[in-house]
Structure 1
């Protein structure tokens, strides 16, 4: 149960912390995060040259994400797919944590959903609920 809930909670915490960053910096920061996510598996090389192809695709998506929350969301979903492939291959993102790619595959869609809604701060609606 923890293997499922903790990654989802990490995604929620990422969204909450990301909401603290003012726009337009929030979108740019997330575009840089997508670029980094695209390179996360490079050192393992489990999929050979396909790791470089994926990194190249993610670099393009990150570049487009500088101006588009939709591309950032697409990037998180692409990374989700890459996480699943690595989990099934038995080559996790963190070699010392067997289920780390599985967890990442659960965390990334949470962030993607936020991005597809425009990456708006979730803190403003939360504040209004608390002050009622």
Structure 2
């Protein structure tokens, strides 16, 4: 269950986010990414590196305002940071030892959804690529 529940949370996130209409869905997800980038700041397990990571994810989230690709990359960066925290023993939730591991399992699910362009439920089940509005990744 330790590995299944985080996947379910990632799927649930994508399903709920798919209910928001574009272009608001992409922008809302960019804001969510920026918030996730600052999730470890209060713990300070990696000292100054926490600020550097938060700055990096903030930049990627800013680029994500116009690009699903950047949002997906940001969630993959967060996955790597979760793994570092899990290995170091500095979890996201101090009283939940494996919280960073769970986050590291959940985040790639969200990243895959974002890298597909954040499709709606209909687009997801029909296998169609979503209609992307102004996705400027360059």
**TM-score normalized by structure 2?**
0.88
Q: CA RMSD in A?
A: 1.2
Q: Which residue of 2 aligns with 1:80?
A: 79
Q: Which residue of 2 aligns with 1:71?
A: 70
Q: CA separation in 1, counterparts of 2:124 and 2:90?
A: 40
- Per the TM alignment, residue 66 of structure 1 is displaced from its structure 2 partner at its CA by 0.1
When residues 77 and 125 of structure 1 are mapped into structure 2, their CA distance, relative to the original with a 3 A threshold, is: closer
- Per the TM alignment, residue 120 of structure 1 is displaced from its structure 2 partner at its CA by 1.1
1:65-105 C-alpha deviation (Å, 9 max, x unpaired): 00000000000000000000000011110111111000000
Q: Which residue of 1 aligns with 2:88?
A: 89
* Higher share in helix: 1
Q: CA separation in 2, counterparts of 1:125 and 1:76?
A: 19
Q: CA separation in 1, counterparts of 2:75 and 2:57?
A: 9
Ranges in structure 2 where 5+ consecutive residues have no aligned partner: 127-138
When residues 124 and 69 of structure 1 are mapped into structure 2, their CA distance, relative to the original with a 3 A threshold, is: closer
Ranges in structure 1 where 5+ consecutive residues have no aligned partner: 128-132
- Per the TM alignment, residue 124 of structure 1 is displaced from its structure 2 partner at its CA by 4.9
Contact 1:16-1:123 at 8 Å conserved across structures = no
Runs ≥4 residues deviating over 2 A: 122-127
Alignment length (residue pairs): 126
Contact 1:72-1:112 at 8 Å conserved across structures = yes
Q: Which residue of 2 aligns with 1:49?
A: 48
